[in-house]
A and B are shown apart, each in its own frame.
Chain A
Amino acid sequence: MLEIRNLKASIGDADILNGVSLTVNAGEVHAIMGPNGSGKSTLAQVIAGHEDYEVTDGTVSYKGQDLLALEPEERAREGIFLGFQYPVEIPGVNNAYLLKAAVNAKREHQGLDEIDAFEFLKLAREKMAVLGMDPKFLNRGVNEGFSGGEKKRNEILQMAMLEPSLAILDETDSGLDIDALRAVAGGVNALRDPERAIVLVTHYQRLLDYVEPDFVHVLSEGRIARSGDKSLALELEEKGYEWVREAANA
């Protein structure tokens, strides 16, 4: 599904990604871990199409097409979803409006009619119930005045409504209390599907207790320093990131 080859990216004068290669297939859950500043979030943003980052080398193919040639909105309509580390507050834009606009943008791209208003509400309420969200959140401004946990649940709600082919969740676990973490993990697990790939970008191993990854990669200084199965995450927890960096430089 996603084929990243020797990806290099910079922002301003700073090189952040220094040759990342990664293959993600449908049905797989990957965890990308690494210390602060290792390039985890940059990788997520580049895949989503953030224009502040300049791709200086390498290729990214998604479902066989050149992902880097697509606008962010085209990537979204093609089934890529980025769950933001810091979801943006947008006062004055109704949460339901955004959800519906997002769902319809994708449906239009697929040649489908707009979602029926009743159907939309029913679906949104169902997904919110699973995530333990009050339906009132539908009528609030997007993330406006939401707590950290509410913002992250809202990201998962959007993901659940959009049913992406490739979901990249950037530090979705950060700042969550245990109840919110469980709710978010439940939302992610509900989306596990043979047709869908999920990439979890995370600093800590904690989320991986609830969402079990098939593969774990450790990013260090803009490269994947080590890959393994879920036991790598436990090893990291024990030995710390310094261990990976030393091993990579050895």
Chain B
Amino acid sequence: MSRRSLPIDALDRTVSALSDDALADARRAALEQFKKRGFPTTRDEDWKYTDLSNVIDISERWLESSTGTQPTDVDRVRELQTAIDAAWLVIANGELNRDLSTAFDDDGIEISPLRLDDNGLRLDDPLADLNLALLRQGHSVSIAADRSSARPIGLLIIDSADTAPTLSQVRIDIELQANAEAHFIEYHVSAGDDEHYSNAHINVINRSNARTNYLRFQNRALHHSQTTRLSVRLETNSAISHCGIDLGGRLTRNDLTIDILGQGASAIFDGLYIATEGQHVDNHTRIDHRVGPAVSAQEYRGILSGRCRAIWNGKAIVHAGADGTDAQQANHNLLLSEHAEIDAKPELEIYADEVKCAHGTTVGQLDERALFYLRSRGLDRERAKRVLTRAFATSIVNKSPIPELHELIGHAVEQRLRDLATGAPQ
């Protein structure tokens, strides 16, 4: 397969049309880099199982149609803001909606236009180049030192594609100053009959002793696609607890990379993906233990039905000298259909001596013993299956880092599982 890019003229025109602000140079540089490399292909090891053709087609159509901005689904935003008490940053189709964003009023949260300390280029991610090249606005969020608030910061990424294919780029850089603690919910939702592709890149830096609790929740329309990257840097004694939940979307690819830079850091990252007919969901995680002692643990679970495909690739690298590392990874999959496919791949690279690493993956059906047990208590077979399937998902939901949201997320998961059972669309 040859490497695909996008029509150069249209790209140039689109990037030139963006405002001539502080990001202009960075956009140009990113554009040049993207032009050279194009999109990843299935020949790239990290993209072996995920073919971006659909996303490229949408991008091309979007470039050709050069449509104006789409209206924000204000009702949907308000509905969510009622359901979840948070300080919101609302990004609709890649643009900040200042009126609906409540995070600006919150003490201890400073939000400003994206500042790039370097040229902002990543050497290893063409999607980051595409993101920066086409970025209308980016945001920097700084959490003041010692600030601790139980009220989450909501990053609402809402997209609509009502009259034309749309593409949106989101970039948010978050920095937690020393001893700060913050909760985040990154909430992806989209609607509209036309096609949509969202490409979101979020960076988190935890300064010493900072704690980040992070829930990423995605419930996009089933014909919309997304790629996300969350990059986390952990300094001394800082911690992140993360959970990513994917229920919707046609093609979903999430990259989560965590760099442990300081001793005593801790990274817990879990995930749940539910996919059915026509869905493709790919979670790639990478953790770099650069120093020790430090701990990391991840557990991803998937529930697959119909003809769908899921990928979990968990890479853990324990660098030379990172003694005292404890890295655990697990991936469990429940296959409810013989047409569903899962590619699960743990990768451990260990260059240090004193480490504790373990991984485990399972792929299976519902436990017949448990099914019989429930039936012997009067639950019919279908209900017993539903109960067990939900239980499989619940263990991740209940571990997710913002307890106040367990019920809400649990309901959404349950609703999705009900759709799965009845074969109904979203």
Contacts and interface: CB of A to CB of B under 8 A. Distances in A.
Interface stretch (A99-107, A116-124, A187-195, A209-217): A99-107
A183 B123 CA distance: 67
Contact of A76 (B370, B377, B387, B390): B377
Q: Which of B376, B381, B391 counts the most chain A CB atoms within 10 A? A: B376
B378 A102 contact: yes
B409 interface: no
B372 A72 contact: yes
Contacts of A87: 373
Contacts of A82: 376
Nearest to B390: A92
Contacts of A73: 375-376, 378-381, 384
A102 B379 contact: yes
Nearest to B372: A50
B367 A71 contact: no
Contact of A88 (B370, B383, B393, B395): B370
Contact of B395 (A76, A91, A101): A91
Interface residues of B, number: 24
B369 interface: yes
B374 interface: yes
B49 interface: no
A48 B376 contact: yes
Interface residues of A, number: 28
Interface of chain B, helix or strand or loop or mixed? helix
B392 interface: yes
A172 interface: no
B394 interface: yes
Interface string B103-133: 0000000000000000000000000000000
B388 interface: yes
B377 A92 contact: no
Contacts of A141: 391
A205 B270 CA distance: 49
Contact of B388 (A50, A90, A102): A90
Given A90-B388, A92-B395, A76 B373 contact: no
Given A72-B372, A91-B395, A102 B377 contact: yes
Given A91-B395, A93-B388, A93-B391, A98 B370 contact: no
Contacts of B369: 88
Given A90-B388, A92-B392, A93-B391, A84 B380 contact: no
A82 to B, nearest CB: 5
A168 to B, nearest CB: 10
A160 to B, nearest CB: 13
Contacts of A72: 372, 375-376
B201 to A, nearest CB: 33
Interface in A39-74: 48-51, 71-73
Contact of B376 (A76, A91, A92, A109): A76
A100 to B, nearest CB: 11
A46 to B, nearest CB: 12
Contacts of A91: 391, 395
A162 B379 CA distance: 13
A102 B381 CA distance: 13
B380 A71 contact: yes
B379 A101 contact: yes
Nearest to A45: B372
B368 to A, nearest CB: 8
A72 B376 CA distance: 5
A77 interface: yes
A158 interface: yes
A81 B369 CA distance: 16
Contacts of B392: 92
A109 to B, nearest CB: 8
Given A88-B367, A88-B370, A93 B379 contact: no
B373 to A, nearest CB: 4
A88 B381 contact: no
Contacts of B394: 92
Contact of A49 (B374, B376, B390, B391): B376
A76 B391 contact: no
B407 to A, nearest CB: 13
Given A87-B373, A88-B369, A88-B373, A93 B387 contact: yes
A77 B374 CA distance: 12
Contacts of A90: 370, 373-374, 388, 391
Interface in B385-401: 387-388, 390-395, 398
Q: Which 9 A-B pairs have the closest CB atoms?
A: A92-B391, A105-B378, A76-B378, A102-B377, A72-B375, A92-B394, A88-B373, A93-B391, A73-B375
27 contacts: A48-B376, A49-B376, A51-B372, A72-B372, A72-B375, A72-B376, A73-B375, A73-B376, A73-B379, A73-B384, A75-B376, A88-B367, A88-B370, A90-B370, A90-B388, A90-B391, A92-B390, A92-B392, A92-B394, A93-B374, A102-B378, A102-B379, A105-B378, A105-B380, A109-B378, A141-B391, A158-B377
Given A82-B376, A102-B379, A105-B377, 12 more contacts: A71-B380, A76-B376, A77-B378, A88-B367, A90-B373, A92-B392, A93-B387, A101-B377, A101-B383, A102-B377, A105-B379, A106-B378
Interface of A: 48-51, 71-73, 75-77, 81-82, 84, 87-88, 90-93, 98, 101-102, 105-106, 109, 141, 158, 162
Interface of B: 367, 369-370, 372-381, 383-384, 387-388, 390-395, 398
